[in-house]
Structure 1
Amino acid sequence: MDLFGHIEPAVTNATALDGVRLLKALALPQEAALLADVERVLAAAPLRHMVTPGGFAMSVAMSNCGELGWVTERHGYRYDGWDPLTQQAWPLMPASFAVLSQQAATLAGYPDFVADACLINRYQVGARMGLHQDKNERDFSQPIVSVSLGLTATFQFGGFKRSDKALSFPLYHGDVVVWGGAARLRYHGVLPLKAGMHPALGESRINLTFRKAG
């Protein structure tokens, strides 16, 4: 039995991990618009390696768009409407982002999802994201929508404690994962990115994570 049911458009299948849906290659038809919009957002809000409250620079470079952006500070993590690097509001969320995130959420059973925050992560070879929970949002009834572009990444889903065993699976260019409901607060992460060359993004991977934060 596959860990995740592979969902074709307009079909939602039960999975071995309750609350998680994998939509294979859903983003591919919008690839050109998504990549162009990523470039425009990052021109206004450049990528940066945020520093954790413990003083460690993250290996993944980050930025945001939408009404709110995820940021770190000495006391922890939070959402803010202003980019601390540019002292400007975060760029507006591009229409291509909003359409894809709503399409994915609807296919996964969340037709009312409207993201107000998109975290943009750039992984280069060796970059990783340790197991963590998305818990800075106000409403945990809203799902997380994660879009993969570029090099293949090994994604991990754990349990509700960091020490729980994590299951791993590959995410390819264009794949979208949606998790909510029983899975909303599962620990998840990305193993170190392996070397490779992608025709659109070279030696890197871009991840778009959509949330209803406010």
Structure 2
Amino acid sequence: MIAQTANSTASEFPRINPDICIVNYYTNSGKLGLHQDKDESESSLTKGLPFISISIGDTAEFMFGNTRDKDQATKINLESGDVLILGGESRLLFHGISHVKTNTAPSWLKEETGIRPGRINLTFRQY
């Protein structure tokens, strides 16, 4: 059932061949205001090619919506290991990080890697 759902969901997104990886590190006081990512080629944006975001470390409160108004934004937690995909109609949603939640990284991750407090985000895109 999970594989069936994954295949169904994957077929709804245009195929992407990422050629860009952006790495952001957020300290425990880190945040990023609501913004749109529009640096890719006009062709990629017109096609609604998705970007793929992978979270590592402490949990971050992710906000998204149709405006820059953070009070109207939907907020969800992105935990270590979570993958977020914004593509198609959602590709140009305003999005950002309101705050990082201290000491929420998995204990095994801290023990095995010595990762510093905060959050690492890997974002893959196709120019």
TM > 0.5? yes
CA spacing shift, 1:145–1:10, aligned 2, 3 Å: farther
Structure 1 residue 109: Cα displacement: 3.2
Q: Partner of 1:176 in structure 2?
A: 83
One-letter amino acid of the counterpart of residue 162, structure 1? R
Q: Quick check: 2:55–2:78 contact (8 Å CA) kept in 1?
A: yes
Number of residues of Structure 1 aligned to a counterpart in Structure 2: 115
- Once residues 113 and 144 of structure 1 are traced to their aligned partners in structure 2, the CA distance between those partners, rounded to angstroms, is 8
* Ranges in structure 2 where 5+ consecutive residues have no aligned partner: 110-114
**Larger Cα-atom Rg:** 1
d(CA) in 2 for partners of 1:182, 1:123: 27
Match of 1:146 among 53, 73, 76: 53
Show structure 1 runs of 4+ deviating over 6 A.
Answer: none
Q: Per the alignment, do residues 205 and 9 of structure 1 end up closer, same or farther by CA in structure 2, a change over 3 Å counting?
A: farther
Larger relative contact order (CA 8 Å, sep ≥ 6)? 2
**Larger helix proportion of the pair:** 2
The 1:174/1:185 distance shift into structure 2, 3 A limit, reads same
Q: 1:211 to 1:10 in 2, by over 3 A?
A: farther
Aligned pairs for 1:1-214 within 5 A: 8-12=2-6, 107=10, 109-110=12-13, 112-138=15-41, 139-140=44-45, 141=47, 142-159=49-66, 161-163=67-69, 165-196=72-103, 198=105, 199=107, 200=109, 201-213=115-127
CA distance, structure 2, for counterparts of residue 181 and residue 126 of structure 1: 32
After TM superposition, the score normalised by the length of structure 2 is: 0.78
**TM-score scaled by length of structure 1:** 0.48
Indicate the structure with greater strand content.
2
Percent identity between the two aligned chains: 38
